[in-house]
Amino acid sequence: MDIGIGELSRRTGVKIPTIRFYEQIGLLPAPPRTGGNQRRYGKAEADRLAFIRHSRELGFEVDDIRGLLTMSASPQSSCHEVDSIAINHLKEVDRRIASLTALRAELSRMIDECNRGRICDCRVIEVLADHSQCTDHQHA
């Protein structure tokens, strides 16, 4: 496989500027170039880009992906560090879910308490103006 950046983008679903960004930050190695200075990519780059894309879709941070890529280059090594990264990410996801659940409850409560009258009596406006009126401060 010897393809240009446009074809790589189409095959992986990653936009061209994102591919260039990943090259700039070192997640994707700079590819060889043709005499006309066009980037050329092979299967290894496409596979690596698919790994990066899937990792980003799952919410992993760039530094974690960098570490995961480095570790994947040593397939016989222990996966303890990989598990640690995944566990920490899961904890962060759980924290965000708890925060969003609290946010949902607070928004629902504000809407339920609104009597749909005039703005001067609007419960939503009152609570937004005074955080101390929130029942769950975890959404902050």
Q: Dihedral sign, CA of 18, 23, 27, 30?
A: positive
Q: 24-46, pLDDT tens digit by residue?
A: 999 999 888 888 888 899 999 99
Domains along the chain with CATH numbers: 1-60 (1.10.1660.10), 95-140 (no CATH)
**What is the pTM (predicted TM-score) of this model?**
0.75
Q: Dihedral sign, CA of 128, 134, 137, 139?
A: negative
Distances (CA, A) of 113 to 106, 107, 117: 11, 10, 11
Q: 79-131, pLDDT tens digit by residue?
A: 899 999 999 999 999 999 998 998 898 888 878 877 676 766 677 777 777 77
CB 122 within 8 A of CB 111: no
